[in-house]
Copies of this chain bind each other. A is one copy, B any other.
């Protein structure tokens, strides 16, 4: 696709389930989440039972320039591994300063944000809540509810994704269920 020549276009994402009827989503199954959950025994037990779809999102074919925008929906399904909720892998942007906006369409959850220096901020998703993720914050969506957590996201098209840092170090905090409610705890395996 030529950077100079992108044409206007329309694409449908259902306001309720987040799914598009026009393009294929990228899917992350439990088998692709090895090492992301603190409780490795529960992870392996769960995976043997079923390789569940943890989340899916859309990646559109938009030129990766600073004046273009990437957008789509992200759908995190309800579930847990041990006491830890289903979540996205989470990522920094390759251009660390690039921000991202999330607008929650359905479901209940959290976004965990963390700078390389260790500042952690957690904001709550509920339908109608827009979350601003400033540059420098890695971010992960966590479904703490019983319905799919559906968000519409936009970020600068040249931002890129750095998944590796999180895959290696993890986030400094985990979101777990305790007495039937979510709580944020330190990640014993961080680093």
Contact = CB atoms under 8 A, between A and B. Distances in A.
A124 interface: yes
Nearest to A93: B67
A82 interface: no
B100 A69 contact: yes
Contact of A10 (B131, B152, B154): B131
Contact of A67 (B13, B97, B131, B132): B97
How many copies of the chain does the oligomer comprise?
2
Nearest to A106: B15
Contacts of A66: 66, 156
Contacts of A62: 132
Contacts of A6: 132, 134
21 contacts: A7-B121, A8-B113, A8-B131, A8-B133, A9-B131, A10-B123, A10-B124, A10-B130, A10-B132, A12-B128, A13-B130, A15-B127, A67-B98, A67-B135, A67-B156, A69-B101, A71-B103, A71-B154, A72-B130, A103-B152, A152-B152
Contact of A154 (B15, B69, B128, B137): B69
A39 interface: no
A131 to B, nearest CB: 5
A86 interface: no
A33 interface: no
A53 interface: no
